[in-house]
Structure 1
Amino acid sequence: MRYDQWRMPDRSEAEEFIRLFHAEHPDQPVPLLTRLRQVADHLDRYGTYRHTRAELDFGARVAWRNSSRCIGRLYWQSLRVIDRRNAVTPDDIHAGLCDHLRLATNHGRIRPVISVFAPATPFRSAPLVWNSQLIRYAGYRAADGTPIGDRAQTGFTDTVRRLGWRAPGGWFDILPLVIQTHGDKPQLYEIPRELVLEVPLSHPDFPRFAELGLRWYAVPAVSHMRLRIGGVDYPLAPFNGWYMGTEIGARNLVDPDRYDLLPVVARLLGLDTRSESTLWRDRALVETNVAVLHSFQAAGVRITDHHTESRRFLTHLAREEAQGRTVPADWSWIVPPLSGGVTPVFHRYYDAAELSPNFHLDEDARARANGTCPVGP
């Protein structure tokens, strides 16, 4: 089902969350039993209930704590939660998203931020952003079929072009936001250029690397995942941390369905690509990741490497286990895509539990982000 449409919160899930909140924050002005009665009364009267600001903050942070695919959860308590539940119009939502990018970018000192917009009610569907991230590069195909830009965004780029976007046709064009609110058609909004911090990529040992003209944006703000807290769904809750270098250098720039740059980098480095046994892919991959880390650090933009982050994840694991909490983790996401076997997260098993609160990716949201849904409300 579409989670931007109203659905009654599950009572047991609501109670479980309120109990969890009070267990970890016992000094509340409203006692636990009183708050449970308030929530039950609102569910009886209105079919839903509204989280207090403290509950919203806690729920969003715990959703990050419970995210099994994220290696950077050591910092979950530092997440800055922006309450945007009163934003109703597309203009209000666009303004809130711009504020999110401004706060998160922080002149390169990237801050973890989540902006939580209104859930659905019995009378109004929840607002949506179709984009998978607030900042994405467009993808095109030239007349001869040659891919240009981010191949994973070709379908979405076609969608926004049908909605009226005039595509520049370059390798790193910032896609507009597609915002949809109750009863309205989707609307296009450009992201002000001054809010998009980008890092040009160079290599400390190969000056010609800069000639490739590569760059990447600083803030990875995921915008199509549903935040669920105590049975209440928030379909629009964009969130970000900062990049781990391999996300850019071992996935975005080199995956065959993204920029597919390993052969390009290998040629630039003069590597022998005639045989796989020369390990030209591995060598080009390492140097691409060196370039990403070097460039972000030289630009003063926060980033982390996969070795450091792997050790920090085990610190998080130890802290959580000391608190008696389960730490769900998806091995295939926690182990980095580069040199995974020499990181400490490789050599162990993890709990596969799905805890709540959490983030969820729904099929209709995936379809919008892939450009495979019909254009219309």
Structure 2
Amino acid sequence: MDRLQAVDFVRRFHQEQPQAGDAADAERRIREVLAEIDRTGTYEHTPAELAFGARVAWRNAARCIGRLYWRSLVVRDLRHVTDADDIAAECFEHLRLAGNAGRIRPVVSIFAPDRPGRPAPRIVNDQLVRYAGHRTPDGRWIGDPRGAVMTSRARELGWKRDEEPFQVLPLMVQERPGTAASRPEWYELPDDSVLEVPLSHPEHPWFAELGLRWYAVPAISDMVLEIGGVRYPAAPFNGWYMGTEIGARNLADAERLDLLPVVADRLGLDRSSERTLWRDRALVELNVAVLHSFQEAGVTMADHHTESERFIRHIAQERRQGRPTPADWSWIVPPLSASTTPVFHRYYDPVDPALRPAFLARGS
């Protein structure tokens, strides 16, 4: 346990949350925390500290363009939930709450922290919702290649894959990592927990015939939430999609669903040369379809121009508070029409790997 991290976090909490008390209250809490660390090797956050830490971790997320609303993050304190069945049930409830009948809410569900000699449960999946993917004997892909590793893992556990291109993977929960009984349990996601949007185009009826769809809640589930030196290895969290995440990456990348050639051919574009810019033209129409479909379904989604303007507002707000806004340019700048957005033509505060609280890649 990093005692300095614990002290720094408690001081920041009291500095930014006046209702927590004055400087004397902060020093009193620090003494409590340090004494608890001396006794047990760790300490327990108060509910208020936990909620503040989770929100600041989102504020510190250098790869996220949607941080303007970090204060609105719904924090579910589930530290008492350690049984795999119960964790799965709470993950499904997370998806229902976040889906919110289409009005997507940013939510984080925080399960038990690691303790000295007692690693806490883990969620194996990288997202709570992900489509399966596998390669056929003739080399074709069915589903999403990004889901191939999790598909193989789930099959090893006894899950049955089918040939449906948008088959939702089961949730896999490892209740006792690092022990002889560390084999994950798997759970099919209930239908009412997975909000999906069928994709169509406002001008091309043939687009709906492609049978495409995508899920509405992008809930990351394989990152560790670290707050004041305490690590929460199961803390799935979500915002809402920006259209290009689906239209310019998930559906378009050659190593994902690789739909640009399909869309270009249906549009009648000339693919004989890259100079015809067929990829660019197909990419725009693919993104038009995604934005149109989510709007028609009444599901929250941001376009990359609006979200870029919001991020500039976020930077200005943070500057007024005397705080830096670390940002990874390659993640902040949208993958479509990048130079037409205000986030393209500027530099950002450097990313500090030591900045905490933070959502961290597992193993870091």
Residue of structure 1 aligned with 2:172, choices 178, 185, 191: 178
Query: Counterpart of 2:35?
Result: 41
After TM superposition, the structure 1 = structure 2 runs for residues 307-326 of structure 1, keeping only pairs within 5 Å, are: 307-326=305-324
Q: C-alpha separation between the residues in 1 aligned to 2:173 and 2:102?
A: 26
Matches of 2:344 and 2:117, distance apart in 1: 48
Q: C-alpha separation between the residues in 2 aligned to 1:316 and 1:126? A: 34
Match of 2:101 among 96, 100, 107: 107
Once residues 309 and 122 of structure 1 are traced to their aligned partners in structure 2, the CA distance between those partners, rounded to angstroms, is: 41
- Structure-1 residue corresponding to 2:145: 151
Number of residue equivalences: 356
Kindly report which structure 2 residues correspond to 1:174-213, keeping only aligned pairs within 5 A, or say none: 174-182=168-176, 183=179, 184=181, 185-213=183-211
- The AA in structure 1 aligned to 2:118 is R
Q: Deviations over 1:242-281 (max 9, x none)?
A: 0000000000001111101100110111111111011000
* CA deviation map 1:94-133 (0-9, x unaligned): 1110110111000000000000011112352111111010
- Map of 1:26 onto structure 2: 18
Match of 1:64 among 34, 42, 58: 58
Normalised by the length of structure 2, the TM-score is: 0.96
Give 1:65-80 correspondences, 5 Å limit: 65-80=59-74
**Which residue pairs with 1:302 in the alignment?**
300
Provide the C-alpha distance between the structure 2 equivalents of 1:155 and 1:242, rounded to a whole number of angstroms: 25
1:342 lines up with 2:340 in the alignment:
yes
Q: Return the offset for 1:363.
A: 4.5
1:243 partner SS:
coil
Q: How far apart are residue 362 of structure 1 and its match?
A: 2.5
Q: Secondary structure at the match of 2:275?
A: helix
**Which of the residues 130, 136, 139 maps onto 1:136?**
130
Mapped partners of 1:274, 1:353: distance in 2: 42
Query: 1:3 aligns to what?
Result: none
Task: Give a deviation string over 1:69-117, Cα, whole Å, max 9, x none.
Answer: 0000000000000001000111110111011011100000000000001
User: Are 2:2 and 1:10 equivalent residues in the alignment?
Assistant: yes
Q: What residue number does 1:97 align with?
A: 91
Counterpart of 1:15, as a letter, is V
1:33-89 deviations in Å (ceiling 9; x for gaps) = 110000010011111000000000000000000000000000000000000100011
SS in 1 for 2:58: helix
Aligned pair partner of 2:218 in 217, 220, 224? 220
What's the secondary structure of 1:172's corresponding residue?
coil
Deviations 1:297-332 (A, max 9, x none): 000000000000000000000000010001000000
Question: Which residue matches 1:5?
Answer: none
Is the deviation greater in 348-357 or in 239-248?
348-357
SS in 1 for 2:108: strand
Question: Does the CA-based 8 Å contact 2:264-2:282 persist in structure 1?
Answer: yes
C-alpha contact 1:137 1:153 (8 A) present in aligned 2: yes
Residue pair 1:227, 1:359 contacting (<8 A) in 2 also: yes
| Alpha-carbon distance in 2 for matches of 1:29, 1:359 | 27
The residue aligned with 2:350 is 352
Q: Using the alignment, how far apart are the partners of 1:344 and 1:71 within structure 2?
A: 12
Shift of 1:194: 1.4
Tell me, yes or no, if the aligned pair for 2:96 and 2:192 is still in contact at 8 Å. Answer: no
Aligned counterpart in structure 2 of residue 271 of structure 1, from 269, 272, 286: 269
CA distance, structure 2, for counterparts of residue 121 and residue 323 of structure 1: 34
SS in 2 for 1:304: coil
The offset of 1:27, in angstroms, is: 2.5
Report deviation, 1:136: 0.2
Kept after mapping to 2: 8 A contact 1:125/1:181: no
Give the alignment's Cα RMSD to 1 decimal. Answer: 1.1
Give the secondary-structure state (helix, strand or coil) at the position aligned to 1:81: strand
Residue 6 of structure 1 aligns with which residue? none
Equivalent-residue separation in structure 2 for 1:89 and 1:49 (angstroms): 21
Contact in 1 for aligned 2:328/2:351 (Cα 8 Å): no
3-state SS in 1 of match to 2:19: coil
Long gaps (5+) in structure 1:
1-8, 365-377
Shift in CA distance, 124/170, structure 1 to aligned 2, threshold 3 Å: same
2:156 maps to what in 1? 162
